[in-house]
Chains A and B, each alone.
Chain A
Amino acid sequence: MSYVSNSESERNDMLKKIGVSKFEELIEEIPESLRLKKPLALDKGKPEFEVVNILRKLAAKNKDSSEMTCFMGGGAYDHYVPAGVDAIISRSEFLTAYTPYQAEVSQGTLQSIYEFQSLVCRLTGMEIANASMYDGASATAEAVLMALNQTGKNKVYLAPGLHPAYKAVIDAYTAGIDLDIQVLKEDSGLVEMSQLNDIDFDDAACVIVQSPNFFGLIENIKSIGSYLKDKKAMFVVVANPMALTILTPPGEADADIAVGEMHVFGNGLNYGGPYVGYFAAQKKYMRKIPGRISASTEDADGRKGYVLTLQTREQHIRRDKATSNICTNQALCALASTIYMTLMGEEGISTAASESVRKAHYLSDKLAVLPNVSLVYQGNFFNEFVVRLPIAAEEFINLMEKEGILAGIPLFWFYPDRTNDLLIAVTEKRSKEELDAFVDAASRVMKSSKVGVS
């Protein structure tokens, strides 16, 4: 199937009008030795129905949520997406537009970005936000880069509960910079508080705390924020937006920057991408933040409109002095989040969040009373928690898979000594029946397992 528009005779006619007798004359600037002498070693083009069949077969080799019940989290959650989201983001007007370089014919995109920024600000309690980042991890890494640039310091403190992949991305992003990354001491999965008195935060670029953290635990960001309030180090909070209509938003904890992963609002699991990072900050950092920003303005007749603003921060103007190298971001995913937040409203998001919390607690209570199963942490948690099993978590997951359940994430992948610890996430989509089925299946598979203790 080809999508080339002109017919053979039109093509020949065009070549004539260009003034060449054959196509090859147009590429004479390419040295002869570099021109391919034979076709690429790929299949020839296929008709559309064959392509659909190939993709359908590949899709069928994946066990998706139609056959599995998902209890997996770790930064990607199976929340419900109302049908209205896809209806709008499938519209050609949004789907097939480019970055809004010509504002007068991009008002749909620009106003929706402005609305996205406004929603992010309200949710996080911050004053400004950008149009989006690639994902939660890169948004966090960009926050580190901004803090280094802003403070001129080179020491960064990370909470022990920061998502290991986010830490890995920070490490990769800062490989070219002379940097001292310290992980704060842990107490029961949380930041150990007494150490905060002993650290010289005037000598650091930033402190990064995620809440709810990788283990699902809620950090007391208000307390941490109060320690950092008069210090030179910037306070960066990584927050799951799903929690923010209920839990302390970064703005109420005196955060300088709030970042996070927003796929939970209106973007499906998609095997990890595309997702959408958000980036919000206090107004005083307006000229320091990365990425595109939409702002309101007026046209010649005084009508309201929107444009990309403060572009002198950006790579296409400032080049090597830019605040970031980001160009293309995740606009359509941000639009999906905007539509989600608007459809759900504050009450709807709070309901989705509190149902996730209650169901997670229901499941953790039931699991904790199974023989030889224990909750690893006693702290308050959101919709995700860690259980210690009598068998290896990986084995447990494989056994549960046969029961039609995606049981969670083995912490062993990130912390090699934690073989029996399993991270379980619950969303509002899981019914009581599914939660009970998880408990039944768990009890059954642990009994049947060779190393299981009955």
Chain B
Amino acid sequence: MTEPTIFELSVKGRKNNYIKPEDGIGGDIEKMLGKENLREKPAGLPEMTENEVIRHFTRLSSKNHHIDKGFYPLGSCTMKYNPKVNEQVARFSGFSEIHPFQMTGTVQGALHLMYDLAEMLKEIAGMHAVSLQPAAGAQGEFCGLLMTRKYHIKKGNDKETVIIPDSAHGTNPASVTFAGYRPVQINSSADGIVSADELERVIDDKTAAIMLTNPNTLGLFESDIEKIYKICRKHDTLMYMDGANLNALLGIARPGDMGFDCVHFNLHKTFSTPHGGGGPGAGAVGVSERLEPFLPKPIIAKNEDEEYYLSYNRPDSIGQIHSFYGNFAVMVRAYAYILSNGSDGLREVAEAAIINANYLKEKLKDTYHLPFDRHCMHEFVLAGTNQKKKGVKTLEIAKRILDFGIHAPTIYFPLIVSEALMIEPTETENVQALDNFADILIQIDKEIDEKPEFVKESPHNTPVGRLDEVLAAKRGDVAYIE
């Protein structure tokens, strides 16, 4: 059923009195603010009672798929279960009701937590130092590139470009442009990785950095990484790792040991903080020793008396990229997650994620084309090309999957696989969930043979049917008008 908007539900005169004017505090507001500064026309916000508001948003919520309801194999997004205890601890008033500009003596617990979390991330990724400031992965990338820029300027290097594989996330080239560099594409090899030979052809002394996702978006480990490191060193080219897929490496291998100068962590992926329908995330960055001076400021430091403080005395820093210190409440959740899992648990996470992905891949590769047929890491990419030949596109398969109470995989990405279905089951799914998903995909393939029109017209069992994106763009209705 269509849910009216809050504006349609609004009835003039309805209200909640959360705030009442206090006796003994008076004064003419117009005089205090200045008549010339007052709003002319009312804003027109809705008028609803609390009961109506709660019902509206509860009804809306029922239209969402979410990880607590069912499987969410969205590749590169690491939709794992979000432990409830993390929500509980993040709401402790000692964390949720402290002001960012309090004197550091009154927020030692918060600073201690941030300091420890940075230390843990350093160890997990094998990096020299960590900043927790970036608010999301893309801001982490941008931050890494700004540090790269400063590093080269300081050394007097004349750099212009950043090499990015054709399989990269879209945020990579976008971040490169905003940092003032030009992206240069490197094509993946027939094995689906960046080969040292191809890099030799593309790299030159103008190359500021290479950005790799490892494992890459095909779910494959960049096995030429040691050679890539040697080549980059020759040109003083820094190595950036997009950490979106770090879940596969926990306790198994570390970006720092591979020679990466910078890596961002998606705390909302690898470290299980909930994604909230599109954020908030957190995109901490780890750096090598040579990039450490350029980290954003402040950084969390500790003195000889074990007191934590915010260190602003960093002359080579790129400066500040957040109003305050980043998404603190997200950090609290990630910290609790790392404590819960510990060194043994994190390794178990990566192993189970890899086993789940390989298990599912084996079950599906006879029905759907598997362009890179070898062991994968935490995710794998199928191509709906057999199905396309039968007249059904990957988009339509994705929509049909929704009918089964399961979220679709990431589709049409990475761009180098046509009709791509990128599947990341994560470690928190059990074998029955994987079997069920495989059965559904195999059933859909059968349906394509038997009743292709039915698949093409899906979804059938969702709160709304297939939505018209072209109409949305044409209308441009992005804000309600009576």
Contacts and interface: CB of A to CB of B under 8 A. Distances in A.
A348 interface: yes
A261 B323 contact: yes
Contacts of B391: none
Given A51-B340, A129-B479, A166 B323 contact: yes
A27 B351 CA distance: 9
B54 A87 contact: yes
B137 A28 contact: no
B2 A304 contact: yes
Nearest to A295: B472
A291 to B, nearest CB: 10
A345 interface: yes
Contacts of A58: 94-95, 109-110, 112-113
B314 interface: no
B61 A59 contact: no
Contacts of B408: 101-102
Given A55-B336, A102-B65, A172-B296, A269 B343 contact: no
Interface in B402-436: 402, 407-408, 410, 413, 427-431, 433
Interface residues of B, number: 207
A11, A96, A321, A346 — most chain B CB neighbours (10 Å): A96
A42 to B, nearest CB: 4
B53 A303 contact: no
Interface string A409-441: 100010000000000000010011001000000
Interface in B69-107: 69, 72, 74, 77, 79-83, 85, 87-89, 91-103, 105-107
Contacts, number: 723
Contacts of B274: 95-96, 332
A95 B88 CA distance: 13
Interface in B330-344: 330, 332, 335-336, 338-344
B440 interface: no
Pick the most buried of A163, A343, A428: most chain B CB atoms within 10 A of its CB: A343
A270 B39 CA distance: 31
A35 B252 contact: yes
A88 B146 CA distance: 38
Nearest to B109: A61
A376 interface: no
A106 interface: yes
Nearest to B193: A29
B60 A107 contact: yes
A95 B342 contact: no
B328 interface: yes
B156 interface: no
Contacts of B293: none
Given A59-B109, A309-B469, A3 B323 contact: no
Nearest to B480: A118
Contact of B477 (A166, A218, A295): A295
A171 interface: yes
Contacts of A68: 106
B452 interface: no
Interface in A309-359: 309-310, 314-322, 324-333, 335, 339, 341-349, 351-352, 354-355, 357-359
In the A-B complex, list the 4 residue pairs whose CB atoms are closest, starting with the nearest. Answer: A176-B180, A272-B324, A59-B94, A332-B276
25 contacts: A6-B431, A34-B253, A44-B345, A45-B343, A54-B339, A58-B113, A84-B53, A97-B276, A102-B402, A104-B465, A107-B64, A114-B5, A134-B322, A246-B33, A273-B100, A297-B472, A307-B467, A316-B413, A324-B178, A326-B139, A341-B45, A342-B45, A342-B46, A344-B19, A382-B33
